[in-house]
Chain A
Amino acid sequence: NAGVMQNPRHLVRRRGQEARLRCSPMKGHSHVYWYRQLPEEGLKFMVYLQKENIIDESGMPKERFSAEFPKEGPSILRIQQVVRGDSAAYFCASSPPSAGDSQPQHFGDGTRLSIL
Chain B
Amino acid sequence: RKEVEQDPGPFNVPEGATVAFNCTYSNSASQSFFWYRQDCRKEPKLLMSVYSSGNEDGRFTAQLNRASQYISLLIRDSKLSDSATYLCVVNMERGTSYGKLTFGQGTILTVHP
Contacts across chains A and B counted by CB atoms under 8 Å:
70
Q: Are A41 and B31 in contact (CB under 8 A)?
A: no
Number of interface residues of B (CB under 8 A): 25
User: Residues of B contacting A44 with CB < 8 Å?
Assistant: 103
Task: Decide yes or no whether A69 CB sits under 8 A from chain B.
Answer: no
Task: Decide yes or no whether B61 CB sits under 8 A from chain A.
Answer: no
Q: Which of B13-21, B39-47, B62-70, B72-80 lies at the binding interface?
A: B39-47
User: Residues of B contacting A108 with CB < 8 Å?
Assistant: 43
What interface size band does chain A fall in?
Answer: 20 to 34
Q: Are A41 and B43 in contact (CB under 8 A)?
A: no
A21 to chain B, nearest CB (A): 14
Q: Are A42 and B46 in contact (CB under 8 A)?
A: no
Q: Which of A70-78, A80-88, A98-106 lies at the binding interface?
A: A98-106
Q: Are B32 and A43 in contact (CB under 8 A)?
A: no
CA separation between A102 and B34, bound complex, in Å? 9
